[in-house]
Chain A
Amino acid sequence: MRAADLLSARGAPRRRSMPMGRQRTLWGWFFLMPWLIGFVAFQALPIVATIFLSFTDYSATKEFAPGNFNMVGLNNYGRLFSDPQLLQSFGVTLKFAIIAVPIGLVIPLSFALLVNSRHLMGANLFRTLYFLPTVIPIVAGVMVFQGVLNAQSGWINLMLGAIGIEGPRWLSDPNWAVPALNLLGLWGVGNAMLILLASLQGVPTELYDASTIDGANGAQRFFYITLPMISPVIFYNVTLGIIGAFQYFVAAMLIGGRNGDPQGATLFYNLHFYRQAFVFNDMGYASVLALLLFAIVMILTSLMFYFGQRSVYYAGGDI
């Protein structure tokens, strides 16, 4: 007789097994743990700390420990109404976003249409080439553009000079600094292009065939079939574009320095926040700025979803 049979014969108590559903839930939590731990440690706690800091006068030069800061109530929030650079930084950010969001959609869409064309030879090569700049680190890309946009030795102005046009002082003229950054932003359109390309390739060809038979021309096919069919992806890109514009920082910091040169023309909201936190060490007010940015992006995204969704066509049905 086998040992198991013996045990069974002696009436050994069976271990009560956990219900399947509960077991699966626990395993689910187990596999979620790495993300959860990361979320709590690196996102939830910093968010809570930011909210807490916004009520203190904590300076970044001291240990974050009791006794090293005072509770100041809503003082930091009150400063929002007397900070002249707050509006300036909003203005710069909005000016940038107004140009960056549309061109961040139109240019990659144009590229996606180009590389999706059946008339194109070596389509894969061009897709790779357009995407290539995206894999270059932003810092390296900006360094390259600093040279490209230099008013004296940059090739854009050298080219303009060759045809008798005096190029602008891209990085030292306050009127040209934001357009220069917009130009620089085109460096990374490969990512959006790829997403749009994927969505273009997902448009059923029978729709085009049917419309061609009905006599639709290229423009009609684009506006009445392609655009509605890829509208969810366009909506996605626009939403990310708006969020990205409000979080714009690295390129601005590298181009305009921490002062937002020239003359504050590149003082983006995030740069203003950075200056308060890490230049002036004023963590309390910087936390308020961070929370304000969160609120603004949240509201904008909600508005986008509320109004934007109406113009989006979901082929799969209503959401």
Chain B
Amino acid sequence: MSLSKSRVVWLAILTLVLLPLLAACGGTTPAATAVPAATNTTAPVAAAPTDTTAPVAAAPTDTVASAAAPTDTAAPVAAVSPTVQPTVLAGGEGCAASATKLTWYVGLGAGADADVIPKEKAWVDNFNKTQTDACLTLQVVHNPESYDTLKAQLAAGSAPDIVGPVGKAGRASFQGAWADVGALAAGANYDLSKYDPALLEFTKDEGVLVGIPFALFPSFIYYNKDLFDEAKLPYPPHKVGEQYNGKEWNIDTMAELAQKLTVDAAGNDATDPAFDGKNITQFGYYEQFTDARGIATLFGGGLPYEASDPKTAKIPDNWRAAWKWYYDSVWTKHFSPNDDYQQSEALAKGNPFSSGNVAMAHTHSWYTCCFDIQKLNWDIAVMPTVNGKITAKLHGDTFAILKQSKNADAAFKVLSKMVVDPELYQIYGGMPATESERPAFFAAFDKRVAPNKVDWSVAQEMLKYPDLPNHESWLPNLIKANDLFGKFRKLLDQTPNLDVDKEINNLQSQLDAIFKEAPAQ
């Protein structure tokens, strides 16, 4: 072979080998949307079962899985952010000399979103200028790293004073680290009686009040009006008891609707015999950002143990039914996306409803953080009934004080102002815990979502149907239990041809083992 010929051959070989590499370099890029994690809290009334049995000084293994875990319950922050975002430090300047220095840590729940940080900074600056008691320094840590960062600070004895917004699951990752806000309130003569006792109960962890009720996040159905219009289908009901197309608005009606809104590449909907489940371009329904316990609430609340013995696992029948329904929706009826679809570009790599290719998604009011609320043509609808009952799972957030705080009293004074601050409600998009403040909150929210006009009465209505017991309620060995529920959802999303009953029994056995492993109460 002549030299020039052999050069051509070599060049061809190299080009072939290089092509995949070049394609990989220039191909798909991570989604740019930075999605803050879900806030993690529970229903006001749900704490009841948790408080009598909760461990007082639980072993390290008895805390809840980190909310930073995108695979389990929260928004897919890690999945969409290619780099670690730096910690933001702000405030602490221009304070009165006598002011007590306090650190406010943000990141375990909402608040570490790029859009939100400037608003938090402005709030802190304004707060520092308008009073002389406290000098607040804001520390914002990107959600996926925020858990480890706070653990490092706790280990080093340099923990912040105030942490939040944070929900039940987020707090549970630091079980035992929170100060008793009830005692601090008593010390400061702060009147807690103005709060609904159920809400106060809900803000307790293991029987200890760890915050003052701040914001509530009911769940409902977000729907994409454009996809309904395109399919010439009426929008889902906005009022409880309203019918849909002459039928009761129940889970079957919703499933049927979702199938009609699920479309393959050839334009067939999921009710069409020619529908191709392997080439779906649009989905009818999605259970957005929740774990198996969250999905289970579709069919009502529950606890995965015997009422008489929290150490004996027993999956409630309604949970079994909900998981089977959900699994069917993914693998048989195809109106919910499986994991591969969820992570695909067509569904915004893990944030399906935001992609505009999902007609309905069930999630909480905090989800307004995570899609273009002005561009997408959307509204909200009530949850369907299951056996005549509606269940709309509920989250709630608060600010908490760490036991390690050297200025817990001063921190409480700041906290008590934070939980009633209208600006903070707007920053975090949480419905005020106090009912009188809600009209103003929604009026301000209307401006944010314009030109969309969202029917907020749905959100208020859904507050009346919380999941009881709440899906984030205490469990023995909570962190490991939540870990199992996160894995179980993945199993449902990733595995075709599952014997769901067998897998539920398997989950029950695993739960039983870890419940029994939990330290004695």
Question: Interface of A with B (CB < 8 Å)?
Answer: 57-65, 111, 114-115, 117, 119-122, 126, 129-130, 132-133, 136-137, 139-140, 143-148, 150-155, 166, 169, 171-173, 187, 254, 257-259, 261-264, 275, 278-283
Contact = CB atoms under 8 A, between A and B. Distances in A.
A63 B404 contact: yes
Contact of B11 (A121, A129, A280): A121
A282 B494 CA distance: 29
**Among A147, A152, A278, which residue has the most Cβ atoms of chain B within 10 A?**
A152
B404 A153 contact: no
A142 to B, nearest CB: 9
B66 A279 contact: yes
Interface stretch (B169-177, B251-259, B389-397): B169-177
Interface of B: 3, 6-7, 9-11, 13-14, 17-18, 21-25, 27-30, 59-61, 63, 65-66, 69-72, 78-79, 82-84, 147-148, 151, 154-157, 159, 173-177, 278, 338-341, 343-346, 349, 404, 479-480, 483, 486-487, 490-491, 493-495
A155 B27 CA distance: 8
A275 B479 CA distance: 11
Contacts of B18: 126, 129-130
B156 A64 contact: yes
Contacts of B349: 146-147
B60 A263 contact: no
B340 A59 contact: no
Nearest to A190: B21
30 contacts: A60-B151, A61-B60, A61-B63, A62-B155, A62-B177, A63-B156, A64-B155, A120-B11, A144-B29, A144-B30, A145-B24, A146-B30, A146-B343, A146-B349, A147-B349, A150-B345, A171-B339, A171-B340, A172-B340, A259-B71, A259-B72, A259-B490, A261-B490, A262-B494, A263-B495, A278-B66, A278-B147, A280-B60, A281-B60, A282-B61
Contact of A61 (B72, B154, B338, B494): B154
Contacts of A57: 59-60
A261 B494 contact: yes
Contact of A258 (B69, B177, B338): B69
Given A129-B18, A257-B69, A150 B61 contact: no
A254 B159 CA distance: 28
Nearest to B281: A152
Contacts of A279: 65-66, 69, 479, 483
Nearest to B150: A61
Given A120-B10, A281-B61, 14 more contacts: A61-B175, A62-B155, A63-B154, A64-B156, A132-B21, A140-B82, A143-B82, A144-B27, A146-B79, A147-B30, A150-B343, A152-B346, A261-B494, A262-B490
Contacts of A150: 28, 340, 343-345
A140 B14 contact: no
Contacts of B29: 143-144, 147
A175 B61 CA distance: 30
6 nearest interchain CB pairs? A147-B28, A59-B60, A257-B71, A143-B30, A151-B340, A172-B494
B90 to A, nearest CB: 25
Contact of B494 (A130, A137, A263): A263
B24 A59 contact: no
A129 B30 contact: no
Given A147-B345, A281-B151, A126 B14 contact: yes
Given A64-B155, A263-B494, A133 B60 contact: no
A281 B157 contact: no
A119 B155 contact: no
A283 B155 CA distance: 11
Contacts of B157: 63-65
Contacts of B11: 120-122
A147 B486 contact: no
Contacts of B24: 133, 144-145, 148, 187
B10 A144 contact: no
A130 B21 contact: yes
A119 to B, nearest CB: 5
Given A61-B63, A114-B14, A259-B483, A139 B346 contact: no
Contacts of B175: 61
A62 B65 CA distance: 16
A283 to B, nearest CB: 7
A65 B154 CA distance: 10
Contact of A121 (B7, B70, B83, B176): B7
Nearest to A115: B14
B492 to A, nearest CB: 11
B28 A154 contact: yes
A62 B349 CA distance: 36
B21 to A, nearest CB: 6
Contacts of B338: 172
B344 A261 contact: no
B358 to A, nearest CB: 14
Nearest to A157: B340
B28 A117 contact: no
Nearest to A254: B78
A148 B19 CA distance: 13
Contacts of B17: 111, 114
B344 A153 contact: yes
A140 B65 CA distance: 26
A258 B83 contact: no
Contacts of A187: 24
- Give the most central of B69, B339, B493: most A CB within 10 Å: B339
A137 B81 CA distance: 13
Contacts of A278: 66, 147-148, 151
Nearest to B76: A257
A129 B17 CA distance: 11
Nearest to B9: A119
Contact of A63 (B59, B82, B155, B491): B155
Contacts of A263: 487, 490-491, 494-495
A154 B28 CA distance: 8
A148 B27 contact: yes
A115 B404 CA distance: 59
B60 to A, nearest CB: 3
A173 B6 CA distance: 42
A280 B28 CA distance: 34
A212 B268 CA distance: 67
B72 to A, nearest CB: 8
A148 B494 contact: no
B117 to A, nearest CB: 21
A160 B336 CA distance: 25
A195 B20 CA distance: 22
Contacts of B71: 257-259, 261
A126 to B, nearest CB: 6
Contacts of A258: 69, 71
A279 B24 CA distance: 33
B176 A137 contact: no
Nearest to A136: B25
A153 B21 CA distance: 18
A111 B65 CA distance: 44
Contacts of A281: 60-61, 63, 151, 173, 479
A275 to B, nearest CB: 8
B28 A148 contact: yes
Contacts of A254: 78
B360 to A, nearest CB: 20
Contacts of B479: 279-281
Contacts of B495: 172, 262-263
Contact of B176 (A61, A65, A153): A61
